[in-house]
Amino acid sequence: MNSTSQKLNSRELKDFLDTKVLEYNNPKFIDSDPIQIPHQFSLKEDIEISGFLTATISWGNRKSIITNANKLMELLDNAPFDFVINHQENDLEKLLPFVHRTFNGDDAIQFIKSLQHIYSKYDGLEAVFSKNAETDSLQNAISKFKAIFFETEHLNRTQKHISDPLKNSAAKRINMFLRWMIRNDKSGVDFGIWNSLSPAQLSCPLDVHSGNVARKLSLLHRKQNDGKALLELDAALRQLDSNDPVKYDFALFGLGVFENF
């Protein structure tokens, strides 16, 4: 398949990718993916907060991401929404030793404070994204979300942990989080608990794996995995399925990670 990948016509390409979506967009995917962390919870706010924090530290080795995300949930008493809303200042001290790559305890504390601000002043994560969404994209909403997230007093260093698409970032981790929350894939992987937003508005979580596969399939030509590349890939995936373009993240990621395509 690899040697002929660039020769597929659009119909063959869609059929090939649709087959790969079915192969990877199923509950078996959860076992090796950070999405397993929010799957530990049933309360909507627990799912979205644990998902947001897990997505935030989702770079590097996947086993390490899952291990550290579980540690973070333990530090939040395995009740992330309750901790965010009701914590006292001295409750935050136990977060100080936490570290995942460049995300440290100071960053974790800031994230909890900013999340409390979002839930107490803006009615939660979904409301912030929904209010600022455009009909065909959430990239502007991500930028607005970052501004609101850091309205509270904060360390400058912590701002780097939320990307801004309007500054040409592909914003891979937050686009992945939005996929988790908005897509209802009927197969039990993505949650589909944000009904105020549509899968048609989503952008693909563009990383080294999905980017490399997309280039091999001529869905993407730009060499950098940046905001401009994301727009190019979005346009290509919307041609394949305008209602649910980001389902192809499963195909691109699965081909890259599990098949070394």
125, 84: one domain: yes
Last residue of a domain, one of 196, 230, 248: 196
Domain holding 107, by residue range, is 33-196
25, 81: one domain: no
pLDDT at 182 (0 to 100) = 98
100, 24: one domain: no
Could you tell me if 137 and 201 are in contact, meaning their C-beta atoms sit under 8 angstroms apart?
yes
Query: Which pLDDT tens digit goes with each residue over 115-124?
Result: 999 999 999 9
Name the residue with tokens 């070394």.
Answer: 260
pLDDT at 7 (0 to 100) = 67
Could you tell me if 111 and 55 are in contact, meaning their C-beta atoms sit under 8 angstroms apart?
no
Name the residue with tokens 């965010």.
Answer: 84
Ranges of residues in the chain whose predicted pLDDT is under 70: 1-7
> Residue 226's closest CA among 150, 156, 175?
175
Could you tell me if 103 and 68 are in contact, meaning their C-beta atoms sit under 8 angstroms apart?
no
Last residue of a domain, one of 196, 231, 253: 196
253, 182: one domain: no
177, 237: one domain: no
C-alpha 50/C-alpha 177 separation (Å) is: 10
Q: Considering the entire predicted model, what is its pTM?
A: 0.95
C-alpha 163/C-alpha 126 separation (Å) is: 18
68, 114: one domain: yes
Type of residue found at 252: L
pLDDT at 118 (0 to 100) = 98
148, 171: one domain: yes
Q: What are phi and psi of 104, to 5 degrees?
A: -115, -170
Residues found in the chain = 261
136, 67: one domain: yes
140, 49: one domain: yes
